[in-house]
Amino acid sequence: MTEWIIENKDWIVPISVALLSLFGSLLGGWLSGKKRIGIEVLSKNRQEWINDLRKKSQNLQV
């Protein structure tokens, strides 16, 4: 195995770069998806809070 790596050392850098970029893109995609879900939950909670305030203010006016 070590001899094969030494003989084909020209391939080590491109393969390493390809694997690191693949790992980075997967990690970035996972993090962006997680962030988007968090933002959707926050906006939904905020919208519910605004609707509750509107209902309370309408009840007070009546």
pLDDT at 12: 83
Are 12 and 5 in contact by the 8 Å Cβ rule? The answer is yes
Q: Which residues contact 5 (CB under 8 A, 6 or more apart)?
A: 12
Where are the alpha helices (H) located in 1-62, listed in sequence order? Answer: 2-7, 12-61
pLDDT at 54: 87
Tell me the pLDDT tens digit for each residue of 9-27. 788 888 999 999 999 999 9
pLDDT at 20: 96
Q: Is the pLDDT of residue 62 over 80?
A: no
Mean pLDDT, all residues of the chain: 81
For residue 8, give both structure tokens. 């084909």
Domain boundaries, the chain: 2-61
pLDDT at 25: 92
